[in-house]
Amino acid sequence: MGNHLATCVCTLLRSANRTAVWAYGILRNKERFPILRLACPSRPWRERFLGKKPYSETLISIFRCQQAISAWKEDFSRKYRSVVKKVLDNVGCQLTVLYLNITNIIVAVSQAKMARPLVSVYDDKGMVTSSTVKMPAVFTMPLRADLVQFVHTVMRMNRRHPYAVSKEAGHQTSAQSWGTGRAVARIPRVRGGGTHRSGQAAFGNMCRGGRMFAPTSTIRRWHRKASVTQKRYAICSAIAATGVPPLVFARGHVIDKIPELPMVISDKIEGYKKTREAVAFLKCLNAWDDIQKVYNSVRKRAGKGKMRNRRMKRKKGPLIIYNQDNGIRKAFRNIPGIEFLQVDKMNLLRLAPGGHLGRFCIWTEGAFRKLDSLYGTWKRPSSVTKWRLPMPKMTYTDFTRLIRSEEIQKAIRPRMKPQRPQSKRKDPLKCPTLMNQLNPYASVVKRSAILLQKAREVARKDMIEGKRKSAKILGWRPKRRNIKKKLPKKTEKEAKK
């Protein structure tokens, strides 16, 4: 029975040998085994790898091997526990390593599967067409929310208009200080008489009709400079975030019924010229719910903005990114919440309003195909500015597995023991524990002193008792002191009697 089981185990390991070596090699060598290029944004896509095996067949073989290993483990533990214990000891280690390697590579393949190489194209009726578009490399960019927030703030500053108060405000009166000695403050006071204004304080920021503290000026530094590389990085991050459904949901867009993100539509909508065509298209695409959210969010603005032609405010709707304007702006411009961008003139203020990632974008097919030429890929630079997509800091996202690998654990220093903070210095004369550590004989001296004191108290008590007994025998008594008792005073009636 043991030999038969060992033969079965060897057969299983021989059948899974290719998969095990393949999984181990993938985790060790990214250049030779390009499966990890699917999970790493710094590597190009390949549809076939490792002996010209399709992706689906390789994944199926992995799952079959994993199921077989788990089934064999259960059989080993149930039926032949006592018979083939030695066989299990020899083979168990190999099974465990194979199981872990296959599990890790399945995670890598699943991560690669999430980054879809192709995107479906929908027509103006909301139906999927037969054409597909390759996913641009810019959608695999790292999401840098901090950089987007910084660049957004700088770009908003560059749109500010200078404002200031009048230079003469608060100083359009004749006033002079009265000096000291009049029991009033030394603030300048208005000259003249005959009115209530005369004698009132002027010029100061605490005075009625006076100037403000630190009057604003038009020569302030209103605008800020931002690096071109930072702005490009921020725009790429904002574009990549438009294809992440959780971020789009978190930003508040209603995309429950949207079939796919990023949403790519045929170029036919670029020729729309009527609003009724645009409304029908949005309803067929199930994007009208996001427009209805904009309708329901119209409300008055809080603050002084109501006086400055900004009385009402509302939420943001979809962003339509097109390649050529053949009437698309006229068709959609009367629908509230909708904004437009030409793909050659991408604006971070529209892609990430408020510095928040995840704007709901509707792309036309021509604009979507143009992204690789505008922003480049991992291999080719941009055809416009010769700029390349920045490399991410980590090419493999499973940081736990990386930090626990044998190579890294051998290179790093061992874990340091936590050091206790330095304790406060104590006085040995007041702390018996510390005194015993410094002088162990101190406790003996202290104990002997206590015992000696008790012995003295007992001896003194015995001496006093002996003297009292001898005094009683001799009849000696202590003398009493003459204490005069205070008599109560007699009243007048008692004195007359």
pLDDT in tens, 146-185: 999 999 999 999 999 999 999 999 999 999 999 999 999 9
Alpha carbon distance 212, 206 (integer Å): 8
User: What pLDDT sits at residue 495?
Assistant: 59
Q: Count CB atoms within 10 A of the CB of residue 232.
A: 19
pLDDT band at 422 (very low <50, low <70, confident <90, very high): confident
Beta-sheet pairing, 118-122 with 128-134: antiparallel
**Which of 198, 157, 196, 159 lies closest to 175 in space, CA to CA?**
198
User: What pLDDT sits at residue 293?
Assistant: 96
pLDDT at 237 over 80: yes
Alpha carbon distance, N-terminus to C-terminus of the chain: 138
The answer to which of 64-73, 264-273, 446-455, 477-486 has the lowest mean pLDDT is: 64-73
Judge whether 251 and 306 are in contact, CB under 8 Å: no
Alpha carbon distance 290, 358 (integer Å): 14
What tokens were used for 240? 């990549």
Q: Percent of the chain, pLDDT > 70?
A: 72
| 320-365 per-position pLDDT tens digit | 999 999 999 999 999 999 999 999 999 999 999 999 999 999 999 9
pLDDT at 58 over 50: no
Alpha carbon distance 445, 450 (integer Å): 9
Alpha carbon distance 256, 320 (integer Å): 18
Mean pLDDT of the 13-35 span? 39
Strands (E), 199-343: 263-265, 299-300, 312-313, 319-322, 339-342
Alpha carbon distance 145, 150 (integer Å): 9
Contacts of 114 (CB under 8 A, 6+ apart): none
What kind and span of H or E run contains 159? none
pLDDT band at 379 (very low <50, low <70, confident <90, very high): confident
Judge whether 251 and 359 are in contact, CB under 8 Å: yes
**Which of 280, 345, 321, 369 lies closest to 329 in space, CA to CA?**
321
Three-state DSSP class for 369? helix
What kind and span of H or E run contains 47? none
The region that residue 179 occupies, defined by phi over 0 for left and psi between -120 and 50 for alpha, beta otherwise, is left
The region that residue 355 occupies, defined by phi over 0 for left and psi between -120 and 50 for alpha, beta otherwise, is left
Alpha carbon distance 248, 242 (integer Å): 7
* Distance, CA of 15 to chain centre: 46
Query: Cα dihedral sign for 338, 343, 349, 355?
Result: positive
Full 3-state SS string of 403-438? HCCHHHHHHCCCCCCCCCCCCCCCCCCCCHHHHHHH
Judge whether 291 and 345 are in contact, CB under 8 Å: no
Q: When comparing pLDDT for 496 and 85, which is higher?
A: 496
- Specify which of 3-7, 28-32, 286-290, 378-382 reaches the highest per-range mean pLDDT: 286-290
**Which of 91, 358, 342, 59 lies closest to 237 in space, CA to CA?**
358
Strand partners, 121: 264
Which backbone phi and psi does 433 adopt, to 5 degrees? -60, -45
The answer to which of 17-26, 112-121, 306-315, 375-384 has the lowest mean pLDDT is: 17-26
- The CATH class of the 118-158+227-300+312-392 domain is alpha beta
pLDDT band at 417 (very low <50, low <70, confident <90, very high): confident
User: What pLDDT sits at residue 158?
Assistant: 94
Q: Give me the residue spans of the domains in the chain.
A: 118-158+227-300+312-392
User: What pLDDT sits at residue 196?
Assistant: 93
